[in-house]
Amino acid sequence: MKPNARRQRGATLMEFVIVFPLAALLVLGLIQAGFVYMAKLTLNHATFMAARVGATHNADVATMRAALNRGLIPFHQNNFETNDSKRLALALVSVKANDLIPYRRAELTRLNPSPQSFADFGVKDPKVKATYIPNDNLEWRTTAVGAQSQQNLRDANLLKIRVVYGYELKVPLMAGIIKRVMCSGSSAVEAWGDVSVLQSAYKLAHPHCLYFLNDRMPIESTAIVEMQSPAYQ
């Protein structure tokens, strides 16, 4: 065997050892990105449906959460169950069970109308003893901007909600990698606390980091719908 040929023996194996882990991570990352994209579309739809229900039910958070849970059913379905009614019923039970577990339930926040909106435009309802924002005859009502909310009455009648859902990462290795990137020491994303996973367990980091302790990735969605009923505080 020539000297040059002897020096090249095993070169292919070394190249494979170096390239294969990176290529595998790239492929797994692309697969996980596709799953996350589909999950984001599902969450967008669930958030919008929750906002629609809230627009006709006085922006009640409990009512919107019930509608949101119905929209999260696709995340909990057992595709091996052939009976559609049974599969959907079991998925809804799973959603409600997760709703009882802290940092696993979907986080729903009503961003608008805000407390400042109620302070500027709220009207006392003596029957239910609550404050509401008028929703009727808006074209004839004042267009003045509130001092605290910096909104007019039409803006105050826009329902805006934000939902954060902990999506379970099922592709191998991806949960650990994303966890280290988002919530791990000085290399983490600063907006999420820039602390270790151990510190986040004691609630010193951004609350969304706690999802990663159960291999879940927070996915956020917002929806804006015009109120079709008076919003109650």
Outline where the chain has alpha helix (H).
3-7, 11-56, 61-71, 84-98, 115-121, 153-156, 174-182, 197-201
Give the pLDDT confidence of 92-126 residue by residue, as tens digits. Answer: 898 888 888 877 788 899 999 999 999 989 888 88
Would you call the peptide bond into 113 cis, given omega within 30 degrees of 0 as the criterion? yes
End-to-end CA distance of the chain: 86
Q: Whole-prediction pTM value? A: 0.82
Q: Contact at 8 Å (CB) between 35 and 170?
A: yes
Give the pLDDT confidence of 43-97 residue by residue, as tens digits. Answer: 999 999 999 999 999 999 999 999 999 999 999 988 888 888 899 999 989 888 8
Each domain of the chain, given as residue ranges in start order, spans 3-169+215-232
What average pLDDT does the structure give for the chain? 83
The answer on pLDDT for 25 being more than 60 is yes
The answer on pLDDT for 200 being more than 70 is no
Q: Of 24-28, 64-68, 106-110, 211-215, which gets the smallest average pLDDT?
A: 211-215
